[in-house]
Each structure stands twice: as structure tokens, then as C-alpha cells.
Structure 1
Amino acid sequence: MVENSQITYEQVEQKRREFAAALRQFTQEKGQYHQRASELPAAKLEGAEILPNRLALLDKIAPGGVIGEIGVDRGDFSLELLERCKPSQLHLFDIDISRLVNPRIQAELASNEGRVKTHIGDSSTNMRKMPDSYFDVVYVDGDHRYEGVVKDIEAALPKIKPEGVLVFNDYTVWSAVSMYHCGVAKAVHELCLAQPWKFRYLALQSMMYNDVMLVRE
């Protein structure tokens, strides 16, 4: 427990128990609350590997490609993409880049090299403006609502090279931190079931906000 906290662990637990009780009653009355991901056939997982974290996943990406990152926040992971993957171009998509404060990324943006570029506004709208078969990697970490993930997937698919990959952050159905829905897993599974995409890597995270890389079959 944190000293001088205005709320105790037990108070939080009481709220959790109340939520759990309400959820049980809702589901008993035939309500559907969670956005479940459909089960995948074994063929969609064949050859997939588990990695310890998402930095290990980045180390699997061939250097020198063109990368798009949807959802940038502070730019700290953008720097990991830049340093570990050494892309020829790094395109950063975000509704608002006022939070992008990483000094190294800011310096790249201010330089004349033009290796890092920002696309401000709705990510799916801006992604559709990119050339087809342009990206080697699209890293999706934007709107985590199911509808938002689907929009980003639909916009990104024609922009990825035939040998390119899709990577999704927060591959789950529920956010333990925000106690809210996360539509990433549902959208990812639907993509794999509808189109020739399969799992290549699953990168673990300590709160199970895992990353998953998809490749074309």
C-alpha cells in the first residue's frame, strides 16, 4: 500500500467486488459484456514463437525497412523502433503529437534527414493516404476500441508489402489497468480467420498487455 494514499487497497477491492457482482448479474440475465476473441485453428499458430518482451520482437525485424507506428504517445517506443530496427523511414501516426516529448525523436524531426515523419490526425484516414505496398512493418498501438482497431487494420492492409508484417500492441480483450474493453485480440483473430494472416511471434508483457506479430501465409 502506498503511504499517505487517499484510498486504500481494501477500498479498491470493495469496488472490484461490487463490479464483479454487477457483472455476474448482468451475464446471468443474458447480457454480453466482454468482447471475446474467436478461437483460432491450429494452422494459424503453427510455427509461432513466444518471446520474453516486445523489445525481443523488434530484434526479429530486419533492419532498413519502412515502418509505420500507429499511436505514438511520448515517442519512447518510437525511439526503440528507430534504434533497434534502423528503418530507412519511420512514419508516426497519432491524433495528437503534443505528448511526443522524447528528445531523440524530437531531434530527428527537427533534423534535415527526414527519416522520421509525423502524420497528425485520424490514423486510419492518414494511413489511407500512403502509397500501396509501402510499409515493411506497421505497428498498431492506437485506438484500442474494437471499432478503432478494425479501422486501422482496414487502412493498413493495402499499404503493407507482400512480405511485410503487422504488429499489435496490447493484444488482449480487457485492460486490467483501465478496467475497460480492449478490442485488439478480437480484431486480430477476425483478421486471421478472414484473410491469409497467421501468428509469427507472441511477445509477453508483465501485465499481459502482450504484442503479437502477424505474417501472411
Structure 2
Amino acid sequence: MTSQPEMTFEIVEQKRRAFSRAIKEFHNTGGRYHNPASELPPSKVEGCEVLINRLALIDKVKKGGVIAEIGVDRGDFSLELLTRCEPLKLHLFDIDIERLVNPTILEELESGENRVKTHVGDSGLNMSRMPDNYFDVIYIDADHRYDGVKRDIEASVPKLKSDGVLIFNDYAVWSPASMYHCGVARAVHEFCLNNPWKFRYLALQPMMYNDVMLVRE
């Protein structure tokens, strides 16, 4: 049985250059591979502050509110929302809650205090079942495809209070880690262009999987 050759930086670079050439050839035939976000007018980013990371962003959230996190994964960021924002209620939405393993969040769920509640299944459908004008903050970090982000936005907006905010994780058009499309920035810009919402905070991330908070104009 022959062993696989060791993967090296040089081999990865060769594959990346081949991928880049394939995209150029595709573009030369009239194809379109990337999906950029529309440019925003100055009014949509006026007053937007840049923060060092997403923890600094959620520190800006008012305490004691009702928060939804759409896309929970292990629950580690759920704990940050719980401890930093001190919500009255924290609602966790995910298609597969089996991945939630953070021990503190699990203890909170088992405590019977009902401060943290899970909603398992399609996030758009489950969010549509929530009361209108209920949430102070909705943090969206689920399906990063353009259509998926649009669905989560459409389901979430009616559920926000008049002064409620939307926060998006992985605000980008391309994922350098997975080398694939990310529709978050495109959907966010489209939403801002078509609705009276604007940027309030942009939180940086080392690989530029940034976060952005939107508020009503």
C-alpha cells in the first residue's frame, strides 16, 4: 500500500494557482464566478465605528434584553452573549443542536430557569413563529449562502423591536478557508440599499471574517 505524499505549502500553492487560472479562463469565456456586494452610498456607513473584534461589538449591546443567535455550533459564542450581554432571554436557533457542547450553556439549559431556550430545525421557519417586536438583538451566523442569509433577514426583521439591531458574522463575499462563496456581504448590502437600515459597527477578524451591526436609520 503506497502512502500519500506529504501535503506541503508548495503543493497547495500549485493547486491555488491552477484554481486561479481556471477562474480567469472561465471569465474569459464570459462566465461569472464571484458575486460581489453592491457599493453603498455614504449615508449607509456614516457614523459607523470600527472595533477590534466581535467581542468588542457585543459589549456595545445593551444589557438585559432579549437576544437570538441564529447558528450556534458548539455554543462557545452563545456563552459570550450570555455573560457579556446579560440577556433576560437567549434564544438559540440551529438546524442541528447536537453540535452544542459548551458545558456552561448545557448546564443553563438543564437548570430549568428557562433563561436559555433552543429552537431546532430550519431557522427561518422557527424565527417566523416568534412574536413580532420581541428581540433586542438578532445575531445571524447560520447558512452563509446568499439565499440563506436573505431568508434569515426576512424572517428576523419583523421580530425585532423598533430599536432592535441585526448583527452578522462572516461579513464577506469569499471564504479564504473553504475557498468558496460567502453571501453575507452581498445580502447585507442589498438589504441596506432597499430598506432604511445602516451600518453602526464593523468588528474586525484576523482572516477578515468580520462582523457588522446594522441599525434602523
Q: TM-score, normalised by structure 1?
A: 0.97
State the alpha-carbon separation in 1 of the partners of residues 18 and 96 from structure 2: 36
**Other-structure match for 1:37:** 37
The DSSP-based 3-state class of the residue aligned with 1:169 is strand
Shift of 1:6: 2.9
**Other-structure match for 1:197:** 197
**Other-structure match for 1:22:** 22
Q: Mark the runs of 5 or more structure 2 residues left unpaired by the alignment.
A: none
C-alpha RMSD over aligned residues: 0.7
Q: Amino acid of the residue matched to residue 60 of structure 1?
A: K
The DSSP-based 3-state class of the residue aligned with 1:68 is strand
State the alpha-carbon separation in 1 of the partners of residues 118 and 130 from structure 2: 12
**Other-structure match for 1:210:** 210
Determine what percentage of the aligned residue pairs are the same residue: 69
State the alpha-carbon separation in 2 of the partners of residues 35 and 56 from structure 1: 29
The DSSP-based 3-state class of the residue aligned with 1:198 is strand
Q: Amino acid of the residue matched to residue 98 of structure 1?
A: E
**Other-structure match for 2:134:** 134
The DSSP-based 3-state class of the residue aligned with 1:91 is strand
Runs of 4 or more off by more than 2 Å in structure 1? none
Deviations 1:143-185 (A, max 9, x none): 0000100000000010000100000000000000000000000
Shift of 1:111: 0.6
Q: Amino acid of the residue matched to residue 126 of structure 1?
A: N
**Other-structure match for 2:108:** 108
State the alpha-carbon separation in 2 of the partners of residues 201 and 28 from structure 1: 38
Matched, 1:8 2:12: no
The DSSP-based 3-state class of the residue aligned with 2:34 is coil
**Other-structure match for 1:53:** 53
Shift of 1:35: 1.2
Matches within 5 A, 1:141-152: 141-152=141-152
The DSSP-based 3-state class of the residue aligned with 2:43 is helix
Q: Mark the runs of 5 or more structure 1 residues left unpaired by the alignment.
A: none
**Other-structure match for 2:70:** 70
Q: Amino acid of the residue matched to residue 127 of structure 1?
A: M
Q: TM-score, normalised by structure 2?
A: 0.97
Q: Amino acid of the residue matched to residue 19 of structure 1?
A: F
State the alpha-carbon separation in 2 of the partners of residues 15 and 139 from structure 1: 35
